[in-house]
Structures are given as C-alpha cells and as structure tokens.
C-alpha cells in the first residue's frame, strides 16, 4: 500500500500574555511516499495534530501586529537589553582588575 500526501497549513495565533492573544504563522508542508505501517501511523498523528491546530481562532495580521507593538512598548521599560543594567546591579561587572601578569 502506498500513500501520497501533501499537506500545507497556516495558523495565526499565540498567547504571549494571559490576557492577550497574538499570532504566529506555521507553514507545514509534508510530502510522504510511504510503504510501512509506522509511517502511516505517524502520518495519521500528524493529520490529527494539523486538524487540531487548524481549529484555532485566527485574527488579522494588522490587529496582531498592533497588539504586539503595544505589548512591546508597554514592557520596554523592563527590558534590560533596551534600558541597560545599572553598574551596581550588574553581576558580570569586574569588581577588581586582574593582577596576574
């Protein structure tokens, strides 16, 4: 028995914050030419997972990007990569120079 399958799925949604939903895009392309029962079982599991993911509510990219930008702006003040770390709180700062020469 041979199975020929090609699946492509696009999903847009992820929960970054407990109160807000954002998006992600998954493009999954699966091509299979199988003859063993293990591959058939694996393909069935993949199809089941794809059906589950396809049932997720979708939102427009314009709304998701606006929400993502607002989230980033709200949390920018707590981001050490954007604001920097004060020297007094930096655990990686050299406390004294190396004397070994």
pLDDT on residue 63:
94
Q: Left if phi > 0, otherwise alpha if psi is -120 to 50, otherwise beta: which for 84?
A: left
pLDDT on residue 39:
83
pLDDT on residue 84:
82
pLDDT on residue 35:
52
- Averaged pLDDT in 10-residue chunks for the chain of 101 residues: 50 52 48 62 90 89 94 89 80 73 60
Q: What are phi and psi of 38, to 5 degrees?
A: -60, -40
pLDDT on residue 71:
92
Domain ranges of the chain: 1-63
pLDDT on residue 60:
93
Kindly report the number of other CB atoms within 10 A of residue 22's CB atom.
17
Residue 50 buriedness (CB in 10 A; 0-12 / 13-18 / 19+): middle
Place of tokens 């492509």: 8
What is the C-alpha to C-alpha distance for residues 46 and 44, in angstroms, rounded to an integer? 5
């Amino acid at each position: 028995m041979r199975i020929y399958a090609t699946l492509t799925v696009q999903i847009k949604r992820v929960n970054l914050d407990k109160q807000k939903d954002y998006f992600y895009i998954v493009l999954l392309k699966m091509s299979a030419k199988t003859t063993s029962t293990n591959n058939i079982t694996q393909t069935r599991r993949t199809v089941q997972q794809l059906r589950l993911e396809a049932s997720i509510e979708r939102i427009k990219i314009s709304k998701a990007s606006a929400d993502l930008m607002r989230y980033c702006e709200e949390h920018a003040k707590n981001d050490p990569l954007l604001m920097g770390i004060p020297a007094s709180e930096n655990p990686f700062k050299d406390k004294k120079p190396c004397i070994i020469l």
